[in-house]
Structure 1
Amino acid sequence: MTLTPMQETAVAAVEKKKNILLLSPTGSGKTLAYLLPVIKGLDPVADRLQAVVVLPSRELALQVEAVFKENAPQFRGMSLYGGRPAMEEHRRLREIKPHIVFATPGRLLDHIGKGNLRHLSTHTIVVDEYDKCLELGFRDEMDRIGLEFANTPQVILTSATRFEAEKQTDQTSAELSTPPTLLKGRKFQTIDYLDDNTSLQERLSICTVRSPEKDKLDTLARLLTHIRQESVIVFVSHRESAERIGRFLSEASFSAVVYHGGMPQDMRERALYRFRAGAATILVSTDLAARGLDIPMVRAIVHYHLPLDEASFTHRSGRTARWEDTGTAYLLISPDEVVPDFVKEHSVLSVDEITPRPCRPEWTVLYIGRGKKDKLSKADVLGFLCKKGGLNAERIGRIDLADHAAYAAVKRSALNALLKQIGGEKIKGMKTIIEEMKR
């Protein structure tokens, strides 16, 4: 594995057991930068908790857990988050005795308070997207976490913005937006790559699009037609706007899904899966999708509502042009709006002459009513689709497993024949529902 200069610097510092403040742009690989040395410091023989990663959202916890399992299959790790019974997690904790957990603040404290998690042996605590943890109203929880882990030898904090931290704290002893209990008596080494954004500027194009009307829906439809089948995230400021725009696009036959914090978790999961799998090319979202989600190959970002500040613009736009990819950030400007001052260099695109014309995605999603709890694996799903369904690997895309369901992306052109072929067939000896996923 080839590491970036930022990752090499961070890995070396973490391996020296230093307290670290890692500042690096969105999409630059911060997760691996802290996770690789933390993995190296785990003891595979010890059946005890050795490291804790605190994250602001369930989605980010699951995402980082997946990266951990990919890079360290010899170790045991699990996610802890709200929205599911804590007792189920407790049973799992007792069963696997994890070396590391990936937890949202409230659920972590819940397990500690109930005695489900023995954390005093922990040698490292990571607060990933630490400024976001505070933004989302976790300040009290983070204070309590600071008390619980006051004696933990190593603290690692990550953020994609510098000035958010500075404006959120009144402390003069440190620039960190974290509770004093995590800072007290500690010296932090700051690894700051936020100004090292030349390559990002080269990969990210910024374009403004004028809307002749205050309501930008028609201009959005024309712009999406211009972008064609590339994957796009449309950012809005309010949940109600996300729902309204999602309905408009769906009624206009665009393949769009909606994602925001007011949706039930299962609906958010389905929306993300459809988007990641390519079965929906447009994700309409609040800023919930601006941080933490790792969605590969997002080719464009549309700021339907203008970002409130440079930090919001940075995080939203950072969903594209990740790593070595290129991407474009579009800003829709109504007649009474102006381009924000923090948007320095940009081109101008006119879509007035474009007739909205949606494209159907080449992928769709197959729902299978069995999952991890039924001992079903991704290899089982792949083998079933190839052997029973007669598909070659090129017609099968992303496969994901939930506790009680599996989702497989297949070429839309192969769907009807596939459903006929596998009708009535058992998967791994089990009868179940197999159908195209509905919205």
Structure 2
Amino acid sequence: MQKTANTTIIENENTLLLSPTGSGKTLAFLLPIFQKLNQENKQIQALIITPTRELTLQIEQVWRKMKTNFKVNVAHGGHAKSIEKHNFISPPALLIGTPEPAIIFCNHREAVERTHWELKQKGIDSVFYHGGMEQDDRELALIKFRNQSAHFLVTTDLAARGLDIPSVKHIIHYHLPNKEED
């Protein structure tokens, strides 16, 4: 796995690795990243985005076991902002992170679905939620968002009425609300 992946990653900007658990995928992508890092560059040189905090921590652990002498930081929800700011006083060569969940508001159902599919095409996990959906589908979307299977909930103002999702720290208004109170 490592040998094949190394060649592919070095030659290509984007690479998708598919293989069973325990086959060496983590090392397969970390080794070529390590080869590309420059000790003279004091900025972030590589970014790894993961879907879960656990995977972020696992990748960090493998990197530290490699004893590369390149600084690594993880960024995920659950730390105080002061800790994250302190970690960037001297930027790491490698940053591994998990995006915090966000709600994206659109004014129309069609815009909700279109925005959701645009995110999906870019490999960004999202679900959509609006009044035109069956109740079971709306509930499933909320379950996926709450358990962070999807990091973005694309919705109409329906989600502004009574939903309580404590993990959400970011709200994005893709369209401006129609009324001030919305």
For the superposition of Structure 1 and Structure 2, which TM-score range results when normalised by the shorter chain?
A: 0.5 to 0.7
Equivalent residue for 1:20? Answer: 15
* Counterpart Cα distance in 2 of 1:87 and 1:49: 19
Bigger fraction of residues in strand: 1
> Is it true that 1:137 corresponds to 2:150 in the alignment?
yes
SS at match of 1:53: strand
TM-score (norm 2): 0.55
* Counterpart Cα distance in 2 of 1:24 and 1:131: 18
1:86 to 70, 81, 86: 81
C-alpha contact (below 8 Å) 1:55/1:133 kept by paired residues: no
* Counterpart Cα distance in 2 of 1:75 and 1:11: 19
What pairs up with 1:202-213 in 2 under 5 angstroms?
none
> Where does structure 1 differ by over 4 angstroms across 4 or more consecutive aligned residues?
130-135
* Counterpart Cα distance in 2 of 1:140 and 1:52: 24
The percentage of aligned residue pairs carrying the same residue is: 34
1:36 to 3, 25, 31: 31
* Counterpart Cα distance in 2 of 1:87 and 1:51: 23
Structure 2 gap segments, 5+ residues each: 103-121, 127-143, 155-182
**1:158-207, Cα deviation, whole Å (9 max, x unpaired):** xxxxxxxxxxxxxxxxxxxxxxxxxxxxxxxxxxxxxxxxxxxxxxxxxx
Equivalent residue for 1:98? Answer: 92
1:61 to 49, 56, 61: 56
TM-score (norm 1): 0.24
User: Using a 3 Å threshold, how does the CA distance of structure 1 residues 32 and 140 change in structure 2: closer, same or farther?
Assistant: farther
C-alpha contact (below 8 Å) 2:34/2:68 kept by paired residues: no
Structure 1 gap segments, 5+ residues each: 1-5, 110-129, 142-439
What pairs up with 1:149-298 in 2 under 5 angstroms?
none
Return the index of the structure with the highest Cα Rg.
Answer: 1
SS at match of 1:69: helix
Amino acid at match of 1:28: S
Q: How many residues align?
A: 114
By relative contact order (CA 8 Å, sep 6+), the higher-ranking structure is 2
Equivalent residue for 2:65? Answer: 70
C-alpha contact (below 8 Å) 1:39/1:72 kept by paired residues: no
* Counterpart Cα distance in 2 of 1:72 and 1:132: 31
Q: CA deviation at 1:50?
A: 0.7
* Counterpart Cα distance in 1 of 2:56 and 2:35: 20
RMSD: 2.7
Q: CA deviation at 1:139?
A: 4.3
Equivalent residue for 2:42? Answer: 47
User: Using a 3 Å threshold, how does the CA distance of structure 1 residues 139 and 98 change in structure 2: closer, same or farther?
Assistant: same
